Amino acid sequence: MRTKWCARAARVRYNLKSESKVLTRVLQSCILNGFIFLLSILVFEYVFLPAVRYLVLAVFGHDPGVAHNVWGWMQPFLSMTFRMIWVLPLFLLSKLVNALWFQDIADSAYRHRRGRPQFMSSVSKIIADSLFSLLVQALFLVQDIADSAYRHRRGRPQFMSSVSKIIADSLFSLLVQALFLVQSMLVSMLPITYIGELLCLVHMCLLYSLYSFEYKWFNMGWELHKRLTFIETNWPYFLGFGLPLAILTQIPHSYIISGCVFSIFFPVFILSGNEATPVIGSEYPLRLFSPVVAISNGMFRFVRNTAEVERTVVDRNS
């Protein structure tokens, strides 16, 4: 009896610690993206610039033409300086920090509800998100060359195949998401009233749903094709799930502010995706991911062929 009580007490302490960690990360994300980043932009645009403009008009009020010319070069100079010194560095820093915090929120929530994840992808996801354009080719080339050299000297690697699989799944997923985002931008340009905007909204709903659920599915060991097929097959549920975030991020006209809004609300969607049980049973799948998957396969096939050439060179030189 005492053993059961101790185990239950330990479990309660662990749950409280996990909940506290998730809450801390969510609050930190809101403070960074909302109160520091977003608020600083709003203060600059709607408080600082109008105040400076008022001072310019007050100083050169006797000559409106001079005041207009002075403000004409001062306003873009101040805006550019603010963006280069404050917005751009903080935006890049927040992307990295958000990736860390989002992954931490997802992993903590998953452990609290389901136990230890099957795949630990934190490092590969962060690296892939930060250096995606470089890693798509470099990691696969290095991995294939390293595997080839290892097999040539010692035989089949014991652990590299699983690591390569995790990295490949992460990179392929990011490539599909990037191409899907481009696809949504292309359909938004259709010269048909409201149709382009509606199709773009549908794309963003499904993409945000994939963002939200992917942490849980990755930890469950689902490969990318299974994740995409599940969304395409049960698209009505995921269309509704991603709709609030898609609308919230489309309201701002600024990409930076839209990114802040996304980062503020996205932790809630991660937690919702971890707890939710999707409604399944749609009769007609919506194959919106199929075109970008085909393009991604072609790109990775090209990388593979390039890697084969590099491996042949290594084999000949060794």
Segments making up each domain of the chain, as ranges: 1-90, 117-317
- 137 near 303, Cβ under 8 Å? yes
Question: Lowest mean pLDDT: which of 68-72, 106-110, 118-122?
Answer: 118-122
- 169 near 223, Cβ under 8 Å? yes
Closest CA relative to residue 200, chosen from 236, 243, 258, 260: 243
Would you say the pTM of this structure is higher than 0.85? no
Is the pLDDT reported for residue 278 higher than 70? Answer: yes
The whole-number pLDDT of residue 203 equals 92
The two three-digit tokens of residue 74, written as one number: 């001062």
Is the pLDDT reported for residue 315 higher than 50? Answer: yes
Residue 160's alpha-carbon distances to 137, 156, 243, in angstroms, are: 17, 9, 40
Interval 277-282 mean pLDDT: 85
Higher pLDDT among residues 66 and 144, named by residue: 66
DSSP secondary structure code for residue 192 in this structure: S
Helices of type H across the chain: 2-30, 39-43, 49-59, 64-82, 88-114, 122-130, 132-154, 160-187, 195-219, 224-233, 235-250, 255-275, 290-317
Interval 223-251 mean pLDDT: 92
- 110 near 64, Cβ under 8 Å? no
The whole-number pLDDT of residue 51 equals 92
The whole-number pLDDT of residue 164 equals 59
Interval 251-276 mean pLDDT: 88
Is the pLDDT reported for residue 116 higher than 80? Answer: no
Centroid of chain to Cα 204: 13
Is the pLDDT reported for residue 316 higher than 60? Answer: yes
Residue 84's alpha-carbon distances to 7, 32, 78, in angstroms, are: 54, 18, 10
The two three-digit tokens of residue 159, written as one number: 């652990």
Is the pLDDT reported for residue 263 higher than 70? Answer: yes
Is the pLDDT reported for residue 123 higher than 60? Answer: no
Is the pLDDT reported for residue 12 higher than 60? Answer: no
Q: Collapsing DSSP states into helix, strand and coil, what is residue 133?
A: helix
Angle among Cα 113, 119, 123 to the nearest 5 degrees reads: 110
pLDDT band at 11 (very low <50, low <70, confident <90, very high): low
Euclidean distance between CA atoms 54 and 34, whole angstroms: 27
Max CA pair span of the chain = 89
- 295 near 179, Cβ under 8 Å? yes
pLDDT band at 64 (very low <50, low <70, confident <90, very high): confident
Higher pLDDT among residues 283 and 154, named by residue: 283
Half-sphere exposure (Cβ direction) of 113: Cα atoms closer than 13 Å: 17
The whole-number pLDDT of residue 135 equals 38
Question: Lowest mean pLDDT: which of 11-20, 80-89, 118-127, 146-155?
Answer: 146-155
Output the average pLDDT for the chain: 76
pLDDT band at 312 (very low <50, low <70, confident <90, very high): confident
- 278 near 234, Cβ under 8 Å? yes
| Of 31-35, 85-89, 199-203, highest mean pLDDT | 199-203
Closest CA relative to residue 166, chosen from 177, 174, 156, 154: 174
